[in-house]
Amino acid sequence: MDLALNEDQRSFAQLTREFLEREVVPHRAEWDRREQVDRALVGKMGELGLLGLTIPEEYGGIGGDLLTYALTMEELGRADSAARGIVSVSNGLVGTSIVNYGSEEQKQQWLPRIASGQSLGCFGLTEPDTGSDAANLRMRAVRDGDGYVLDGQKIFITNGTWADVALVFARTGGEGPKGVSAFLVPTDTPGFEAREIKGKLGLRGQATAELFLSGVRLPSSARLGDEGEGFKIAMSSLDKGRISVAAGCVGIVQGCLEATVAYAKERRQFGRPIASFQMVQDLIADMSVDADAARLLVWRAADLYVRGEAYGVAASKAKYFASEAAVRAANNAIQVYGGYGYVDEYPVQKYMRDARVMTLYEGTSQIQKLLIGRAETGVSAFL
């Protein structure tokens, strides 16, 4: 097994780091306080290629491999998970679904705009009464002449108020996963409304919204994939999305580690740097092992994907481990910072608040364990 990165992968990650150190790191605390990243960041990320990372070149993207994508998500997670989420959802969940399931017309319509940052996408699966149990979602899409009429509600939708296109999952058939279809809804369609959810614990710079669809009329050409294929599209996007979340979590662990080591060497108590105390090194050592272990799980999942092998369970393992590791690392980092870790002059309390959602979204830790348990035992605990 060759764990060495190639020149393209290394240089794109380096370019991304330099960009983020310049355009994001100096502003992240302020964006977090005012609960909004600077909108201009979207265009800048588009120019660098971050929003078209996995979109083929013929549609305006840079057609990077999944390991390059993971490395870039790690850099974004290290800098600011709010920015990482914008990219993961627009390019990862929405762009990739269009690449894999879109008609030529849908690809031409949306991919170049998503890749450049001219348009953002959001991914509307979760509803107020169906989170983990997404296969039972209630939003309806009823056939009407040559098209559909959509009615229902979505909640916790990243990029919701900023998006130009919403990939929305709605019920066209009977109960369960086979009754779900996917639709690309331009957000200026009459009857579509997005309301921002304020007061989040973390990811405060990111626009998270409730979506209300009331009599939204769409032509059949807005359906992504076949009727009844929606749940499959959602799950395949989320398998890949979990690699992205996991990679972002590696970035959180790495960011916590770097910040903590620097602080521990500088901060003195009892006449010595606190880095010289064994119990402080214990906390740092755990963070260091977590960073390596989480990164290797991410790379393994990305490598399986690149080689065309089954990668879903590997992605679940990476997402489960890395998200829990991010919470542990941020907690350790605050411990080493002492009281200074509790205020946002230093980055570690934001890492803690941002990390906390990682064990919840794109499948909670419990759901990842059920997926892993099903793979090990052959028995589904979902039924």
Ligand X SMILES: Cc1cc2nc3c(=O)[nH]c(=O)nc-3n(C[C@H](O)[C@H](O)[C@H](O)COP(=O)(O)OP(=O)(O)OC[C@H]3O[C@@H](n4cnc5c(N)ncnc54)[C@H](O)[C@@H]3O)c2cc1C
Which residues lie near ligand X (CB under 6 A)?
89, 123-126, 131-132, 156-158, 200, 203, 208, 357, 360-362, 364, 366-367, 370, 382
Q: Which token pair is 318? A: 């990476």
The residue (of 261 and 375) whose beta carbon lies closer to ligand X is: 375
Least Å from the CB of residue 138 to ligand X: 13
The residue (of 126 and 332) whose beta carbon lies closer to ligand X is: 126
The residue (of 241 and 257) whose beta carbon lies closer to ligand X is: 241
The residue (of 281 and 364) whose beta carbon lies closer to ligand X is: 364
Least Å from the CB of residue 162 to ligand X: 12
Buried b (16+ CB within 10 A) or exposed e, 94-111: bbbbbbebbeeebbebbb
- Please, what sign has the CA dihedral across residues 367, 208, 245, 124? positive
CA-nearest of 93, 94, 48 to 75 is 48
Residue 225 gets the label, from left (phi > 0), alpha (psi -120 to 50) or beta, of left
362 among known catalytic residues: yes
For the CA atoms of the chain, what is the radius of gyration? 21
Which of the residues 74, 75, 127, 362 is marked catalytic? 362
Q: Which residue is nearest to ligand X (CB)?
A: 131
Least Å from the CB of residue 12 to ligand X: 25
- Please, what sign has the CA dihedral across residues 151, 152, 158, 159? positive
CB 218, CB 196: distance < 8 Å: no
Least Å from the CB of residue 103 to ligand X: 23
For residue 328, count CB atoms less than 10 angstroms from its CB and return exposed for 0-12, middle for 13-18, buried for 19 or more: middle
Which are the catalytic amino acids? Answer: 362
